[in-house]
Structure 1
Amino acid sequence: MNLKQLQSFLILSDELHYGRAAARLFITQPSLSQQIKQLESSSKIILFQRKGRRIELTRAGAVLRTHAIKIFQDIKNAENELLLYQYQTRDNISLGVSGSHLVLPIFKLFSAKYPEIALTVKEFSTEQTIKKIGDKVIDFGIVYQCRVPENISATRLFEDEIVAAVPLTHPLARQATLRLEQLAGQPIIILNESLLLRGVIATELEKRHIAPNIICEVDNHYSCLEYAEAQIGIALLTRSLLRSTPAKNVRLMSLQEPTFYQQVILVHGSDLLPDEPVRDLLTQIKDHYGSDTITPEKVWSAQKMRV
C-alpha cells in the first residue's frame, strides 16, 4: 500500500466511475484499474464491487476510505506546519513577549550555549501572543497576567510594578512620595491602547476620575523611558525594564496602587513537546525569575492559572 495507490482509491471512491476518476488523475482507465487491483491484492481485501454498470464501495472499502481521508489530511497539515521552517538555515525557537526586556538576560545565556539555534523574540500585545501560540506561529511567550484559553498553559514567574519615571527637572521629582491623583493634568507618556498594561492604567485613572494629559503614546517600554529621560513628560512603565536599562535623569516613583502590581506569566501550548534546547530555555527562564530580587512576591507554580 502506497500513497499513489491510496490517492487513486480515494478519487475512485469519490467518483464511483473509472472514466471520471482516471480523468481527474490524468491517467488511463487501464492504469487506474491496475493500481486498484494491486492495492486489493496487497491488502487481500475487495474494495469495490460491481452493481450492474455501476461500482460501489464494499464495507472494507468504506473503512479504508475513512483512513485514507485522514492520512491525506494529516499530510496537508504537516505541509502547512513545515511552511514555517522554509528557507531557515538553522533551527529556530520563537517567543512573543510583552516587552523585549523581559527576555534579554535569558537571550544572552541561551545564545551563548546554543549558537546554532536562532532565538527569535518579537514584541506583541498579550492578546496577540496568546493567539499566535494557539495558532502555533510561536512556541511560547512571556506576558502579563491575563485570561488564557483551555489549550494554553500558564505559569507564574514574578510580580512586576507599574511605576512613574519622573524627569528630574519636574517639580514632582522633589517629593518624597507620589499619589496617582497628582498625575492629573501632567504631561504623560504611556503605552498604546493595544497593550494590556495601558488598560490597567486607564481603568484605575477612570475609577478615580483622573484626566491625564497624554502627550505621547508609544509601542514599547524603552521608548517610554527615553521620552522621560529627555525631560518631555512623566512616563508610566514597568520596574522590570530598569534591570537591563538603568534610568538616567529620571526618578522612579511608586504609585502605591495594588492594581499596579501585575503578575508576569510564561505561556505555551498545552500540547508542547519540548526538545532539549526548548527545555533548557524554559529552565533558564525559571531559574532567572526564581531568583528575582526586585519584586515583593516571587511565585513559581507549574499549574495552569485561571484568572
Structure 2
Amino acid sequence: MNHAQIRAFHAVASEGSFTKAADVLNVTQPTLSGQVAALEEIYGVKLFERRGRGIEITEIGRRLHAVTLRQFAVELEAEQVLLSARGLMSGQLRVAADAPYHVVPLLATFSRLYPGINFSMSFGNSQQVLQGLFERKSDVVVMPNIHEDRRLHAAPLKREPLIVFVDRNHPWAARRSISITELPHHRIILREKGSVTRKIFETALESAGVKLTDILEIGSREAVREAVASGLGIGVVFESEFGNDTRLHGLTVRDVQLEGLEYVACLKDQKNSPVIRAFFDQIQSSTATNLS
C-alpha cells in the first residue's frame, strides 16, 4: 500500500478540502488529487463525492478514515518513544493565543524545562486563533471558552472574571462595582465580533434583559484601552488584561456572573505529539488551583 496515497487521503478526509489538505502537506493540489485518484483506481472505490466546489466523504471513505486516524496516531506514538529517549532535546512548537497574559508565562516555564525546543507565538481574536488551529497554522492555542468539538483536545487552564473599566475622570471612578442595569445609559466600547470577551459580555446582558443603546466597536484591545482613557466610553476586559494603567479604573459587575474559562487546546489527532504532550503535561500541575 502506497503510504503517500494514504497520507493524501487522510489529509483530505481530516481537512474536508483538497485545497486545505494540499497546504497542510505542502504539495500542489493536482499532486494531492492525483494521489487520491490513484488510490481510488487501485482499489476500485470512491472515497469522495465531488459536489460543485466542495467534497463529501463516502461511507467507505469514512471507514478508511477511522483506520488512518489510528494509523497516524500510532506513528506519532512511535515518534514519541524515539524522542523521549533523547529527552526532548529538539523540536518545534507553534502557539497561538488571543492575548499574551496567560500564554507567555506558560511558554517561559516550558522553555526552561525544554531549552532545545524552538517555539513561536502569534496572536489574534479568538475566532482567528481557532481557525488557525484548524488550518494547522499552529500546534497549540490558549484562549477562553472553547466549545466542545470532536476535532479538538482541550484542557481547562484558569477561570477568570471580566470587569468593566472607565477613565479616571468618569463619575464611576470612585466606585468599586456597578449593576449591569446601569450600562445602557452609557456608551460601551467593545471589540469586534469574534472576540470571546464581547460574546461573554453580550450573553450576560441578554440573560439580564439589558439592551445597549450606544456601542462603539473597535478592532483591537489596545485601541479599546486608549479610547476609554480618552473618555470615549466604558470598556470590558478580562481582569488579567487590565494591567496597571493609572489613567483607568476597573469595576466589577455585581449582579451577573461575568467570567470566562481559559483553555489550552490542540487538534485531537496531534495530542500525542511528543512536544504537544509535554506542553499539556506542564499545565496539569497548576490546573487544580486555577480552577478552584
TM-score band (shorter)?
0.5 to 0.7
CA displacement, residues 97-143 of structure 1 (integer Å, 9 cap, x when unaligned): 22222212223333455555442222234344334333333112112
Question: Of residues 83, 93, 109 in structure 1, which corresponds to 2:26?
Answer: 83
Residue of structure 1 equivalent to 2:258? 260
Mapped partners of 1:212, 1:91: distance in 2: 51
| Amino acid aligned to 2:26 | L
Mapped partners of 1:157, 1:257: distance in 2: 25
Mapped partners of 1:232, 1:289: distance in 2: 38
Residue of structure 2 equivalent to 1:285? 283
| Amino acid aligned to 1:214 | I
Change beyond 3 A, Cα 1:146–1:80: closer
Mapped partners of 2:106, 2:191: distance in 1: 24
TM-superposed CA distance for 1:241, in Å, is: 1.4
TM-score when normalising by structure 2: 0.63
Name stretches of at least 5 consecutive residues in structure 2 with no aligned partner: 12-20, 28-89
Residues 198-209 of structure 1 mapped to structure 2, 5 A cutoff: 198-207=198-207, 208-209=209-210
Q: How many percent of aligned residue pairs carry the same amino acid?
A: 15
| Amino acid aligned to 1:175 | R
TM-superposed CA distance for 1:192, in Å, is: 1.0
Residue of structure 1 equivalent to 2:156? 156
TM-superposed CA distance for 1:163, in Å, is: 0.6
User: Are 1:213 and 2:214 an aligned pair?
Assistant: yes
Mapped partners of 2:132, 2:148: distance in 1: 12
TM-superposed CA distance for 1:194, in Å, is: 1.8
| Amino acid aligned to 1:233 | G
Residue of structure 2 equivalent to 1:74? 7
Contact 2:189 2:235 in 1 (8 A): yes
| Amino acid aligned to 1:218 | G
**Structure 2 counterpart SS, 1:240:** helix
Contact 1:100 1:122 in 2 (8 A): no
CA displacement, residues 43-94 of structure 1 (integer Å, 9 cap, x when unaligned): xxxxxxxxxxxxxxxxxxxxxxxx24x543437969854539xxxxx95311
Number of positions where the alignment pairs a residue of Structure 1 with one of Structure 2: 218
TM-score when normalising by structure 1: 0.60
Contact 1:190 1:237 in 2 (8 A): no
TM-superposed CA distance for 1:191, in Å, is: 1.3
Residue of structure 2 equivalent to 1:106? 106
CA displacement, residues 193-242 of structure 1 (integer Å, 9 cap, x when unaligned): 1212212222333452332422342333x443343334443210101214
Larger Rg: 1
User: Are 1:250 and 2:183 an aligned pair?
Assistant: no
| Amino acid aligned to 2:273 | P
